[in-house]
Amino acid sequence: MTTFSFTNNPVLQVLKNAHSILPGIEKVIGVYYCPESSEIKSKSAHYNTSGNDSLLEDIDFTDEDGLIQNIRKSNSYFYWLRKEETPFEPKQTQKAVQMNVFQEMENVILVLGYYNEHDQKNDLLFFFFNQDQSNFGVSDSNKVLTSESKKIIGFLLYNSVKTMIETFRNDNIALNLYNENTKSIIRRYSQSREDLEKTKNNYGLSLVDLCKSYVKECSENNSRFNYILSDDSLDKIKSYQGDITALKVVITKAINYVNNLYHDSSATDIYITVDYLNFETIGAGMATKPQEVQLYDRYSKTILLLDKLENAARDVVARNMDLTSANVGNACSTPISAPAISDAVKKHKNKIIHLLNKYPDRWRLMRTDFRPVRNIISSRPDLMEKSA
């Protein structure tokens, strides 16, 4: 015996629910073609007296007489058979039976055939009736089922089951359509989620490349240090979701921090770890001060120039040399001539004055001892007072 599982085959669904259209029936057998296994299968359904539960089990049969095959090919809607004519009951010893009107009483199995589109033959349902009318719950149940009654029963039951099968099929089509739509939505959602993850990953990689490029530019403009973003910094940058300009400010502040932290270090490569990247300022101060973000974006080249000259000036002072443009230029990682320094300072004159005024604690050697910068400061006595 096997446990019944719900399938799309309408015969199995009728077996499960036959008591709803014929409450008095106790046994129904279904023979059907299974497209999944390309086999003819059969199940038997037994119903309890309440009709609330059904027990389905697989049954084996041998179609020695070809009865099942013939009925599956037939165009007739229904047949009434004797039990011994079916391949499901033990064969009785053949007797010389005289055909008479009483033999009709033994035709108590109603066979209904319904077209199966998979093998273009009929699936069959065998309803096992009593010889009297007790299956129908009538008060006078001792009366036998007459030939006329059987024709009416066959016709009515055939159409009732046909309606049930059509309902099952329509419900199954609707269910399959619903399932396909649901699967389609899930596939689109999964694809959208994958696309979003790819986009986020690509965006994160773009941020990493941007920061690497910016740090490389800062290294090229510095005479002492080669800045390197550590792996944990790169991971943090990759997951960054804020404004790109603000991210640039974070990197700039981190570089300024390590410049001060390692001002007396002899190291060349300086790693910027995640501890030096202060993202909290983006959510707090910077979020309410967009002008600061714009400031770093607008003055980034001037800031890099001042940082480059300040770091070179520190090297010159550390070697007890005069703080001249020539010495500062030679101390840069990429040597710069004195005239080039003068031209660069003049070109950034207004921005240098603005930055020196805004950040009085930065670039001290530039504002106090480096002549090209002091020359542009001299035109602003008010700024000289603030920087003193």
Judged on CB neighbours under 10 Å (0-12, 13-18, 19+), 17 is middle
Q: Write the DSSP string, 252-298.
A: HHHHHHHHHHTTT---SEEEE-GGG--THHIIIIIHH-HHHHHHHHH
Q: What is the pLDDT along the chain (388 residues), one digit of tens a residue?
A: 333 334 567 888 888 888 778 877 878 999 999 888 889 999 998 876 655 566 788 888 888 888 899 999 988 888 898 888 888 876 654 444 444 555 667 788 899 999 998 899 999 999 988 776 666 655 455 677 788 888 898 999 999 999 988 988 888 888 889 999 999 999 888 888 888 888 888 888 888 998 999 899 888 887 778 999 999 999 999 988 877 778 888 888 888 888 878 877 778 899 999 888 887 755 444 443 445 555 555 787 888 888 889 888 988 988 899 999 999 999 887 788 999 999 999 999 988 998 888 888 888 899 899 999 998 888 766 655 444 3
Instruction: Answer whether 377's CB lies under 8 Å from 367's CB.
Output: yes
Residue 197 dihedral angles phi and psi, to the nearest 5°: -65, -40
CB 61 within 8 A of CB 42: yes
- Within the chain, where are the H helices? 10-17, 67-73, 147-220, 231-238, 244-261, 280-281, 287-288, 290-318, 325-331, 338-347, 349-358, 364-368, 371-377, 381-387
Domain segments of the chain as ranges: 10-145, 200-387
In DSSP terms, 114 is beta-bridged to 123
Q: What does the alpha-carbon distance between residue 94 and residue 91 come to, in Å, rounded to a whole number?
A: 8
